[in-house]
Amino acid sequence: MRLIFLTSAVISDILLLIFIIFLQKKKSPLRASIQKIFITAFIGIMANIIIAAAITPMLTNVAFTLYFSSIDLITYQLLMFAFTYTGQLKSLKEFVEFWRVAIIVDVLNLTASIFSGHMYTMYSITLDDGSIAYLTTPASLFNVHLLLCYLPIILTLVLLAISLSKAHNFYRLKYFPILVSLSFIIILNVAYMMFKLPFDWSVLFYAFAGFLLFFYSLFYIPRRLMNNTLSLAVDSMKEGLLLYDAEENCIYINKTAHDDFDIQEETLSLDQYPISLWLEDKDKDNLESFQQIYPMTIKGKDLMIKVDYRICEDNKHNHLGAFFLFEDVTADQILMKNLEEAKAEANQANVAKSLFLANMSHEIRTPINSILGMNEMILRESSDEHILEYADDIQKSGDTLLSLINNILDFSKIESGKMEIRPTGYAPFQLLRECYHLIEPRAVQKDLPIEIKCDPDIPREILGDRERIKQILINLLTNSVKYTRYGQVTLSAKWTPFDEKEGMVSFTVTDTGQGISEDDITKLFNVFQRVDEERNRTVEGTGLGLAICRELVRMMNGNISVSSKQGEGSEFTVSIPQRVLDPMASGKFELQKESAPKRSAYKESFHAPDAKILVVDDIEMNLKLMAALLKKTGLQISVANSGERAIEICKNEEFDLILMDHMMPPPDGHETMKLIKAEGGHNAEIPYVVLTANAVEGAKVTYLSMGFDGYLSKPVLSRDLEEMLMKFLPKDKIHT
Ligand code: ADP
């Protein structure tokens, strides 16, 4: 008997130890509370093993104290567990906290019994097989100990019983097994005491009851709850779900799928509608997943159904089954179609806008070309002061009109993503000088001095899009001059190195002008937004300049900022990261005092009386203009007012170069060039320069790829025209 008890007790203890270790992982309040019970139960069984082994009276006496104390603790912890587990009578939880003090006193008293018999005295009996066993005789204080143990046990049972009576269906299982096993332990324990049995068999059921507690509270109940709730959730989904096992048997169909297709788990095979439709064109043996949209009729409605198929595998890639998930995406499809149509419309509108801008630019440039060209002739040839003044005004207005068109074109390029940043090596000081000379004439007219302050450490050559940076600086400087009446405008440049190879170049334009109010600063960079309109009525502008600057700076990964005080002036700073090409410091900045050539100082850059060129343009005025602009070079100029005429002339005459308009009634410039070249002979080998009002992004590249050797955009500047001719005319015919 003793051996059976001992063996069972050791097995029980080992089991408990395993549970304790297992509970160590992933601790939750419930797991922690169960773990505490198990640890105490483990100690209780250990004590019982020592008692049953009856090694020495003293050791047995100590083991009794340990055992009674562990029962104190177990019952208390059971009660705490019951509060957590049942969620009942939480208010009592605080009240029973005093139990801890009572337990400590009880444990001390039990310990005293080892020496003085406060609670029990120990005696020995002789068992049937002749061996000794130890039992205790309770003293009256022992009843206090019993009360301390049984009161929490009874409370625990009451809590479980109340919860059991309130629970419904499977929730009953949460309480029932624990209630039964606890009651069983109590009965065995009472029997041990009442019948003075040599062994307390109840302790053997600690592990069993523990296992039930463990299994029900931590696995069975949460799992069942999860399964039930999951299937309820899956049933209420608007998507349909069909689950298959690895043998292709349908194991689950949710409510939506049941309702939509009137199908049952037991009878649904892969060959049956709707699965047959979904798998029609698929290789079933090698199918892992697919997603497809099918037009289907469900409950009399024509719908678009998106089907998602996937196989399920465990983490070792064993095939477990598969599922079909389907949903009605009709509304999404309609929305998508509408969006695509709207996008196509928007694209069309954008293309139309770009075309309109290109055409408008072309149409406006053509007459400006004539106006500015003819005006240039007046400026060159007239000596009447009044007429020169009028011509000057025409030129200014023409320039303004031109910059307006350029701004609009630039913005459309930025908007359509066609604006490109083209870095080249440049000398920052040279760039500043050019800006100065470009802005100086305007500033002189307003009596505004322009000061340039330069950081001598700026590297001599850096890499960046010099033309775009110049455009930004000219824009800022033009604004400062435009909006400043007295004082001065300052352009300063600073270099902040990141390392040897890179740094930040910052340009600041400061003026002492009218300034911008705080409210207006926020609107400053908006497209077509002009601020302080009342005061700026007489200042020309479109409100595009700063918006373009901001976009260009952004494209160069830089930053533009402004600070301003109304009535005191403004300060615009542009900072752009640049690579260093020549790290040598630029040194002291010097302005070479040469200004842009003045109109009165026009001087042809070459003479070429032996060279012959043909100018082809359908607008007579342009032909006249070319002849006038090039008069002083002495060139022999023939003109043709159509492609056909040009072809004819080329049959009889040999030229050194042909200047060709592009947009002409058929044949256009390109066609004409091809036809002349097709005739062969001398004129097939000469350079062709296209002279066109088409100035949209990429125009130059397009024309060069068409076979033209050079590209000039209207309105043409005589300086550019002469430069182009010098480049392409035979060198021996040019005299400079
Ligand atoms: P605009 O072509 O009208 O000059 P911008 O985009 O260059 O267009 O500038 C927008 C507005 O910002 C201008 O209309 C002007 O009111 C204000 N502004 C720009 N620069 C300055 C400045 N330096 N001082 C005062 N106001 C300025």
Q: What is the pLDDT of residues 468-477, one digit of tens each?
A: 999 999 999 9
The domains located in the chain, with CATH, are 2-231 (1.20.1070.10), 238-328 (3.30.450.20), 338-413 (1.10.287), 422-599 (3.30.565.10), 603-733 (3.40.50.2300)
> Residue 556 pLDDT more than 90?
yes
| Token pair belonging to 437 | 């000379």
CA distance 394 to 400: 10
> Do 711 and 704 touch, CB atoms closer than 8 A?
yes
378-398 mean pLDDT = 83
Per DSSP, helices labelled H in 543-615 are: 545-555
Angle at 622 between CA 619 and CA 628, to 5 degrees: 150
DSSP 18-66: HHHHHHHSS--HHHHHHHHHHHHHHHHHHHHHHHHHT--HHHHHHHHHH
362-366 mean pLDDT = 77
Measured from the CB, is residue 407 less than 6 Å from ligand 1? no
> Residue 596 pLDDT more than 50?
no
**Which residues have CB under 8 Å from 596's CB, separation 6+?**
437, 438, 441
CA distance 436 to 477: 9
> Do 724 and 689 touch, CB atoms closer than 8 A?
yes
For ligand 1, atom 14, name the residue with the nearest CA.
530
For residue 479, the CA-to-ligand 1 centroid distance in Å is: 6
47 closest CA partner among 16, 25, 69 = 69
43 closest CA partner among 72, 22, 23 = 72
pLDDT score recorded for residue 535: 59
142-163 mean pLDDT = 87
8-state DSSP, 464 = E
Measured from the CB, is residue 479 less than 6 Å from ligand 1? yes
379-401 mean pLDDT = 82
Measured from the CB, is residue 183 less than 6 Å from ligand 1? no
| Token pair belonging to 281 | 């064109």
> pLDDT digit string (tens) for 236-281?
999 999 999 988 889 999 999 998 888 888 777 888 888 889 988 8
pLDDT score recorded for residue 597: 45
Among 30-39, 59-68, 160-169, 173-182, which range has the highest average pLDDT? 59-68
Task: Report the percent of the chain where pLDDT is more than 70.
Answer: 94
If one counts every other C-beta atom within 10 angstroms of the C-beta of residue 494, the result is 17
Measured from the CB, is residue 546 less than 6 Å from ligand 1? yes
> pLDDT digit string (tens) for 274-332?
888 998 888 877 888 999 999 999 888 899 999 999 999 888 888 889 999 999 999 99
* Angle between helix 385-415 and helix 330-381 axes, rounded to 10 deg: 160
If one counts every other C-beta atom within 10 angstroms of the C-beta of residue 518, the result is 9
If one counts every other C-beta atom within 10 angstroms of the C-beta of residue 461, the result is 18
pLDDT score recorded for residue 370: 82
For residue 531, the CA-to-ligand 1 centroid distance in Å is: 7
> Do 203 and 9 touch, CB atoms closer than 8 A?
yes
CA distance 156 to 354: 83
CA distance 676 to 653: 12
Measured from the CB, is residue 526 less than 6 Å from ligand 1? no
Strands 424-426 and 450-454: unpaired
CA distance 107 to 412: 90
Angle at 577 between CA 573 and CA 580, to 5 degrees: 125
- The most distant pair of C-alpha atoms in the chain lies apart, rounded to whole Å, by 149
> Residue 601 pLDDT more than 70?
no
CA distance 228 to 96: 36
For residue 565, the CA-to-ligand 1 centroid distance in Å is: 14
CA distance 257 to 239: 8
For 21, counting Cβ atoms within 10 Å of its Cβ (0-12 exposed, 13-18 middle, 19+ buried), the class is: exposed
For 129, counting Cβ atoms within 10 Å of its Cβ (0-12 exposed, 13-18 middle, 19+ buried), the class is: exposed
Best residue among 483, 508, 512, 550 to mutate for probing ligand 1's pocket (most ligand atoms within 8 Å of CB) is: 483
CA distance 119 to 123: 13
| Token pair belonging to 556 | 């160069």
Strands 502-511 and 569-585: antiparallel
For residue 440, the CA-to-ligand 1 centroid distance in Å is: 19
pLDDT score recorded for residue 316: 87
8-state DSSP, 202 = G
> Residue 521 pLDDT more than 60?
yes
8-state DSSP, 220 = I
pLDDT score recorded for residue 12: 86
Mean confidence (pLDDT) of the chain? 86
Higher pLDDT, 594 or 248: 248
Per DSSP, helices labelled H in 236-329 are: 255-261, 275-278
167 to each of 84, 126, 175, 278, 306, how far by Cα in Å? 16, 50, 9, 45, 42
For residue 530, the CA-to-ligand 1 centroid distance in Å is: 6
For ligand 1, atom 16, name the residue with the nearest CA.
531
Measured from the CB, is residue 511 less than 6 Å from ligand 1? yes
Higher pLDDT, 210 or 236: 236
Angle at 486 between CA 484 and CA 490, to 5 degrees: 65
DSSP 3-state assignment of 312? Answer: strand
> Residue 164 pLDDT more than 50?
yes
For residue 521, the CA-to-ligand 1 centroid distance in Å is: 10
